[in-house]
A and B are shown apart, each in its own frame.
Chain A
Amino acid sequence: MHLILFLFFGGICVAGAVNLLVQRHPINSALSLVVVMASLAGEYLLLGAEFVAAIQVIVYAGAIMVLFIFTIMLLNAGEEERSKGSRVALLLGVPGVAIGGVLVAWTLLRRSSTASVGMFALPGDPRAIARLLFHDFLLPFEVTSVLILIAIMGAVVLASKPEAIARPSTAEPAPREVRELVAPGRQR
């Protein structure tokens, strides 16, 4: 049972991943990535990590991928055109990846033949996770919140229109009401 479900979700996953490679339009790739993430959420559930599965769907598929799709729509990305690629990437990279993958697979198959996992093996309820998160991993938790803050600021700065940040002096003067707010009482 476990195996069947695993193979089911795993198949969808691999199919989505391959589809991402094959598709020419980025929007198709994005959608197949969503499929991958959803199936991964299923895998997590299979192992009993319900919290992780939930946030996988909410954060990854629901937020990050949406961001991707927004960007694709914003930039009006079209089909990929043919262009001269890099020989190095093909000559070195692909064999490298292949070799690396084969090696890892071989190692895994050799070694961890005795290890096994059971269905719903994990204690993945939110309470347990929360206890861990806010006790042992409190510092990383707080640091990541700062990280997100920085990421937000960075994204805003990077993606905004250049004139509004770089040359405020050449921008239009603010309307009267705003000026009143900024410097009340000044006679001007």
Chain B
Amino acid sequence: MMIPLSCYLILSGILFTCGVLGFLIKRNIITIFMSIELMLNGVNLSFVAFAAQWHALSGQIFVFFVMVVAAAEAAVGLAIIIAVYRTRETLNVDQVNLLKL
């Protein structure tokens, strides 16, 4: 059974859009970070969908690497958040605004 590829891609787009919206709207740093993960997941889905269209394996390999990188990034990012929390005592992104002109 075949369904059009665009279904998967639209789903991927919806996920990505939700991720960006979350990045823009949310105030908690950790939630923002989670939106980033959401974006990455959306992208992963589109990779796999395209791999299925071409019956290729390289798409999945790329998904594999994306996951690895996302893991590393999540680890470091959360460490940074912890460090920021230590100094600023807040998780509100609007109050982490010293790096300005």
Contacts and interface: CB of A to CB of B under 8 A. Distances in A.
Interface of A: 1-3, 6, 10, 13-14, 17-18, 20-21, 26, 29-30, 33, 36-37, 40, 43-44, 47-49, 51-52, 55-56, 59-60, 63-64, 67-68, 71-72, 74-75, 77, 80-81, 83-86, 89-90, 93-94, 97-98, 100-101, 104-105, 108-109, 112-113, 115-119, 121-124, 128-129, 132-133, 137, 140, 144, 147-148, 150-152, 154-159, 162
B51 A49 contact: yes
A144 B13 contact: no
Interface residues of B, number: 71
B98 interface: no
A49 B30 CA distance: 30
Contacts of A52: 44, 48, 60, 63-64
Contact of B67 (A49, A56, A109): A56
B38 A51 contact: no
Interface in B63-101: 63-65, 67-76, 78-83, 85-86, 91-92, 94-95
